[in-house]
């Protein structure tokens, strides 16, 4: 065992320095190993990964997907488990053998679609708390942008979800932009559809987007991905309603490889980051959710019914009936007191002005256009809500507001919870519902106003006192609590290591003490990656974390000097076999 450093008794490891190296750095006494990387064979019969990028779309359908993001570990027993892992998107120049940034054929589009979605991976415990992928395995499965799914909840079957291919509006193909995740108490996985708008486009010259499409930032003339060039499903002019069939939270049973994933419309449609699930004292399920875009909102869903523990079937429809709320953060924006009170405003049709006069004719309308409904009730425009995590000890919820360089511009004034103009560093906000997760009101404060005391020794860009020259970071994104109440903070920010970002190095993972506020750097990723997607084994002796898109701006050979950089799932273990972080 190592000597405990001074400071918080909760943080048992030595802080590490910032790094700009093309490798993982972890705290002394820990090690990092790759569990699985993009393109590794997964489903039975899969082809080997081709480092030159020549794997076909058909190959990719059976291989581990790209850009692994949120994930959950589901234990089967002490030495076996199943992991559900999001594959958020692709880096085209890495995915395609031709190295271009656009798909040049239907085959390219199909390969891209096959690299998106979710990978279900059986794992078994190996030596020293390190785990291995089980192959072959009947659990291993790929869910892609073309996997059949169904809708449930109030918007299922709504006119706005009906297409020529699905006149009933009940069945949909696929999921993509799967950012982060959640895990239900009944052992299912929630995957969250985030930047789905970037997959829709058209060349139809006279196309003009509707206000609803604009509200979800559709850029049809120059979509980030050109799927529509070869797959008419994504041509917004030809199939306008297909757009409404994405932006949901999807529930997946990781233990049944034949199960049909379900898009749960009661949770609303927006650019979902993650789904932080907790059971209220009443037994109702509560899901906190962020909508990651500048000036968008924080939501919570409260189920009507109570959770039945240890009975997956009994909870089958739990996510279909309940109330969706959106958050209003109040307080004094002057003098940055960094605390205040708040309210949860119900997005229920017929209430709070959500009526036909405002264009809402049903609860389905409210859910499909959740952003517009939240506008009507006067929710607070936040600095890009990313992950939310609930402290298991006191029920307080924490949310990363990653950054917002437009804060303070016209139409986006500072407010108490988002107090800084040109907010390039972000903040972590938390709210306290006094132990009642169904509450309609809360108190909030800022756990960390991120900043850089090296670049800005004084003033609002310095950050709160728990930010130091030793732990400075920008753009908190991934977030998770372990059972002992350590707050794990992962970053997706600028890694120039210059000027405003000097001394911060590559993206990183830090650990915070929720009570003292102390934050210590635990891990740094390789070049131009994001660290994301934290999950633990039930004994907390293995931590899994994702290196996402290493080398997205070139110059990385992660892992293992690979000719093409590869997003990978990493496992962190302790050389003495102890609990991670303790």
We find the least distance from the C-beta atom of residue 434 to Ca ion, in angstroms, to be 29
We find the least distance from the C-beta atom of residue 400 to ligand FEO, in angstroms, to be 9
Distance separating alpha carbons of residues 28 and 575, to the nearest angstrom: 9
Q: Which is nearer to Ca ion, 141 or 183 (CB)?
A: 183
Among 481, 530, 544, 547, binds Ca ion (CB under 5 A): 530
Whether residue 136 has a cis bond before it, omega within 30° of 0: yes
Task: Choose from ligand FEO, Ca ion, none: what does 40 bind? Cβ within 5-8 Å by kind.
Answer: none
Q: Which is nearer to ligand FEO, 24 or 179 (CB)?
A: 179
Which residues of the chain form contacts with ligand FEO (CB under 6 A)? Answer: 88, 179, 194, 273, 292, 386
We find the least distance from the C-beta atom of residue 233 to Ca ion, in angstroms, to be 25
Distance separating alpha carbons of residues 471 and 13, to the nearest angstrom: 14
Q: How far is CA 264 from CA 180, 261, 370, in A?
A: 16, 10, 14
We find the least distance from the C-beta atom of residue 198 to Ca ion, in angstroms, to be 13
Task: Choose from Ca ion, ligand FEO, none: what does 158 bind? Cβ within 5-8 Å by kind.
Answer: none
Q: Which is nearer to ligand FEO, 194 or 365 (CB)?
A: 194
Span 272-331, contacts to Ca ion by CB under 5 A: none
Span 375-404, contacts to Ca ion by CB under 5 A: 386
Q: Contact 274/267 with Cβ under 8 angstroms?
A: no
We find the least distance from the C-beta atom of residue 400 to Ca ion, in angstroms, to be 8
Distance separating alpha carbons of residues 84 and 71, to the nearest angstrom: 6
Task: Choose from ligand FEO, Ca ion, none: what does 252 bind? Cβ within 5-8 Å by kind.
Answer: none
Q: Contact 212/359 with Cβ under 8 angstroms?
A: no
- Three-class SS state of 570: strand
Q: How far apart are the first and last CA of the chain?
A: 11
Q: Which is nearer to ligand FEO, 22 or 88 (CB)?
A: 88
Site for Ca ion contains 477 (CB under 5 A): yes
Q: Which is nearer to Ca ion, 92 or 386 (CB)?
A: 386
- Three-class SS state of 524: strand
Task: Choose from ligand FEO, Ca ion, none: what does 291 bind? Cβ within 5-8 Å by kind.
Answer: none
What residue has token string 């393109």?
Answer: 39
Q: Contact 480/578 with Cβ under 8 angstroms?
A: no
Structure tokens at 435: 């132990």
We find the least distance from the C-beta atom of residue 274 to ligand FEO, in angstroms, to be 9
We find the least distance from the C-beta atom of residue 388 to ligand FEO, in angstroms, to be 12
- Residue 75 dihedral angles phi and psi, to the nearest 5°: -80, 140
We find the least distance from the C-beta atom of residue 525 to ligand FEO, in angstroms, to be 15
Q: Which is nearer to ligand FEO, 261 or 385 (CB)?
A: 385
Q: How far is CA 172 from CA 61, 107, 260, 492, 527, in A?
A: 18, 21, 11, 31, 37
Q: Which is nearer to ligand FEO, 235 or 273 (CB)?
A: 273
Distance separating alpha carbons of residues 312 and 253, to the nearest angstrom: 9
Nearest residue to the partner Ca ion, using Cβ: 492
Region near Ca ion per CB under 5 A, out of 136-144, 158-166, 322-330, 547-555:
547-555
Q: Which is nearer to ligand FEO, 491 or 504 (CB)?
A: 491
Q: Which is nearer to Ca ion, 68 or 315 (CB)?
A: 68
Q: How far is CA 364 from CA 32, 181, 209, 229, 244, in A?
A: 46, 23, 21, 31, 11
DSSP string computed for 477-488: EEEEE-TT--EE
Rg (CA), the chain: 22
Structure tokens at 90: 């692709």
We find the least distance from the C-beta atom of residue 115 to Ca ion, in angstroms, to be 14
Distance separating alpha carbons of residues 506 and 526, to the nearest angstrom: 7
Region near Ca ion per CB under 5 A, out of 164-172, 181-189, 473-481, 574-582:
473-481
Among 427, 492, 536, 570, binds Ca ion (CB under 5 A): 492
Q: Which is nearer to ligand FEO, 292 or 552 (CB)?
A: 292
Q: Which is nearer to ligand FEO, 84 or 455 (CB)?
A: 84
Distance separating alpha carbons of residues 480 and 444, to the nearest angstrom: 18
Span 327-356, contacts to Ca ion by CB under 5 A: none
Distance separating alpha carbons of residues 282 and 303, to the nearest angstrom: 11
Structure tokens at 96: 């395609």
Task: Choose from ligand FEO, Ca ion, none: what does 530 bind? Cβ within 5-8 Å by kind.
Answer: Ca ion
We find the least distance from the C-beta atom of residue 216 to Ca ion, in angstroms, to be 18
Structure tokens at 50: 């081709």
Task: Choose from ligand FEO, Ca ion, none: what does 194 bind? Cβ within 5-8 Å by kind.
Answer: ligand FEO
We find the least distance from the C-beta atom of residue 84 to Ca ion, in angstroms, to be 17
Distance separating alpha carbons of residues 485 and 479, to the nearest angstrom: 12
Query: Which parts of this chain interact with Ca ion (CB under 5 A)?
Result: 386, 477, 492, 530, 548
């Amino acid at each position: 065992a190592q000597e405990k450093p001074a400071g918080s008794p909760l943080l048992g490891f030595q802080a590490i320095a910032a790094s700009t190296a093309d490798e993982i750095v972890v705290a002394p006494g820990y090690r990092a190993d790759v569990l699985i990387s993009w393109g590794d064979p997964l489903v039975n019969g899969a082809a080997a990964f081709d480092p030159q990028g020549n794997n076909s779309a058909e190959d990719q359908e059976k291989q581990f997907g790209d850009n692994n993001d949120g994930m959950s570990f589901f234990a089967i027993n002490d030495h076996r488990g199943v992991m559900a892992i999001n594959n958020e998107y692709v880096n085209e120049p890495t995915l395609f053998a031709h190295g271009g940034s656009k798909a040049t054929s239907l085959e390219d589009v199909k390969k891209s679609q096959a690299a998106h979605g979710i990978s279900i991976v059986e794992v078994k415990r190996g030596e020293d708390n390190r785990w291995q992928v089980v192959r072959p395995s009947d659990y291993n499965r790929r869910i892609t942008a073309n996997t059949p799914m169904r809708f449930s909840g109030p918007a299922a079957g709504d006119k706005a979800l009906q297409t020529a291919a699905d006149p009933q509006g009940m069945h949909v193909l696929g999921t993509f932009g799967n950012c982060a995740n959640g895990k239900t108490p009944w052992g299912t996985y929630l995957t969250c559809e985030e930047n789905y708008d970037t997959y829709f486009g058209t060349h139809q010259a006279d196309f003009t987007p509707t206000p609803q499409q604009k509200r979800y930032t559709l850029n049809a003339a120059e979509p980030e991905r050109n799927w529509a060039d070869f797959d008419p499903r994504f041509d917004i002019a030809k199939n306008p309603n297909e757009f409404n069939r994405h932006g949901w939270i999807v529930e997946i049973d990781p233990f049944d490889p034949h199960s049909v994933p379900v898009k749960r419309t009661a949770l609303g449609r927006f650019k979902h980051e993650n789904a932080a699930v907790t059971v209220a004292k009443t037994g109702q399920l509560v899901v906190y959710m962020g909508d990651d875009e500048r000036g968008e909102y924080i939501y919570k869903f409260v189920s009507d019914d109570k959770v039945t523990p240890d009975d997956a079937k009994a909870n089958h429809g739990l996510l279909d009936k309940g109330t969706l709320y959106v958050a209003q953060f109040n307080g004094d924006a002057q003098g940055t007191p960094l605390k205040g009170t708040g309210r949860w405003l119900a997005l229920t049709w017929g209430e709070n002005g959500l009526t036909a006069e405002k264009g809402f004719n049903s609860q389905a309308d409210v859910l499909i256009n959740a952003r517009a409904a939240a506008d009507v009730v006067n929710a607070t425009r936040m600095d890009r809500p990313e992950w939310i995590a609930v402290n298991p000890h006191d029920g307080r919820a924490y949310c990363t507001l990653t950054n917002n360089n437009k804060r303070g511009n016209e139409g986006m004034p500072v407010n108490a919870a988002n107090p800084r103009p040109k907010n390039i560093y972000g903040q972590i906000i938390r709210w306290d519902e006094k132990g009642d997760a169904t509450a309609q009101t809360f108190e909030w404060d800022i756990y960390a106003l991120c900043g850089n005391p090296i670049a800005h020794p004084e003033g609002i860009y310095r950050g709160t006192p728990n930010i130091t020259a030793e732990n400075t970071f920008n753009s908190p994104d991934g977030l998770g609590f372990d059972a002992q109440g350590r707050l794990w903070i992962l970053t997706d920010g600028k890694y120039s290591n210059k000027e405003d970002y000097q001394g911060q190095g590559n993206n990183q993972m830090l650990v915070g003490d929720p009570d003292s506020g102390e934050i210590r750097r635990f891990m740094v990723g390789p070049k131009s990656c994001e660290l994301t997607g934290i999950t633990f084994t039930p004994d907390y002796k293995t931590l899994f974390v994702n290196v996402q898109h290493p080398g997205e701006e070139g110059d990385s050979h992660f892992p293992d000097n690979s000719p093409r950089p590869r997003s990978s799932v990493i496992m962190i273990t302790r050389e003495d076999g102890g609990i991670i972080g303790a």
